[in-house]
Chains A and B, each alone.
Chain A
Amino acid sequence: MMSASMAISNLNEITETVWSMVLGMQLSRVASGRGHLGSELFFLGRVSISGHWQGAVTLWCSSALARRAAAAMFGKEVADAEDGEVRDALGELTNIVGGNFKTLLKGECSLSVPNVMDGVPLGELTADPAKNGWFDCDGGTLVVNVEFQEAAP
């Protein structure tokens, strides 16, 4: 079984690859920014895993970074990215990260379509550092989180 630390390590690598290949942006791993980001609101993208494994992969993306990601995918200026496009882009990035993580799990399981919310405070992020990976991207913040467990027989 994949340990929590191995899971977040894999998820970190997947996220860096996705950000680079899809957006052409480089992520830098940082220590938890919970302290100085307490009042900032985030876009939250989540995909659920069900079947032999139960869990979810969640991306917390600061508003400015999410808008830059949307602009990159839609091929437009950051200022022109609309809220619906930002949610769409983060949902797709979450789907790609979650889908690649799912392929690492043994046993049959399926992935939900992504669900995206905005205006979410960071206080709702689990405090367990073993489940979170923190990144900086030119001043924007991205946090990836994975929760999963083997389904009861």
Chain B
Amino acid sequence: MRILVVDDSGAMRAVIRRMLHELYGLATLVFEAESAEEAERAIEGTNFDLVLANWNMPAATGLELLERVRGRFGVRFGFITSDTSEEHQSRARAAGACFVLGKPFTRRALERALDEVLAPPPPASTRSGRAAFDSQQEAKELP
């Protein structure tokens, strides 16, 4: 499995990388990009099973990255962001994101989000895309 983590913070990339290896083992290949531009070049050259991107980054945002690559590469895309406002969630949904996971998040929340996306799809009659998106919203306990 190949996962690309896009975040301008090396600290957050390290946290996500560690969680991914704890969840799926070291055989999971975790690639890193520190900007949308670097991520776009990586996506052009590698088939990723999933891109996990921060939203708020210098220069291009994670949403702009999704809009650039989705049509060309059809890559599955999830956001990990500190801003889970309704505005961000609806824009992410409209752009084709599979989920929006709020920071901070637990390893279990990351696992739930990824399992839904990476698992083989059930028959189309049993779920809708909207239902899949909604089921992956992190239930946060922040005020």
Contacts and interface: CB of A to CB of B under 8 A. Distances in A.
B34 to A, nearest CB: 10
A10 B143 contact: yes
Nearest to A95: B82
B104 A95 contact: no
B15 A103 contact: no
**Secondary structure at chain B's binding surface: helix, strand, loop or mixed?**
loop
Contact of A22 (B8, B84, B104): B104
B87 A108 contact: yes
Interface in B1-56: 8-12, 14-15, 18, 56
A99 B11 contact: no
A17 B56 contact: no
**Secondary structure at chain A's binding surface: helix, strand, loop or mixed?**
helix
B14 A73 contact: yes
A104 B143 contact: yes
26 contacts: A13-B142, A14-B143, A17-B104, A17-B141, A21-B104, A22-B15, A22-B104, A85-B10, A88-B9, A88-B10, A89-B9, A89-B11, A92-B9, A92-B11, A95-B56, A96-B82, A96-B104, A99-B56, A99-B82, A102-B83, A103-B83, A103-B85, A104-B143, A111-B83, A113-B56, A113-B58
B103 interface: yes
Contacts of B56: 95, 99, 111, 113
Interface string B97-116: 00000111110000000000
B11 A88 contact: yes
Interface residues of A, number: 29
B81 interface: yes
A29 to B, nearest CB: 15
B75 interface: no
B138 to A, nearest CB: 11
Contacts of A100: 82-83, 102-103, 142
A100 B140 CA distance: 10
Residue among B11, B58, B87 with the highest chain A CB neighbour number at 10 A:
B11
Given A91-B9, A96-B104, 17 more contacts: A13-B143, A14-B143, A21-B104, A70-B11, A73-B11, A74-B11, A75-B18, A89-B9, A92-B9, A92-B11, A96-B103, A98-B82, A100-B83, A103-B85, A104-B143, A111-B56, A113-B57
A17 B142 contact: yes
Interface in A73-102: 73-75, 85, 88-89, 91-92, 95-100, 102
Given A14-B142, A75-B18, A100-B82, A113 B104 contact: no
Which 4 residue pairs of A and B lie closest in terms of their CB atoms, listed nearest first?
A99-B82, A21-B104, A73-B11, A92-B9
Contacts of A108: 87
A18 interface: yes
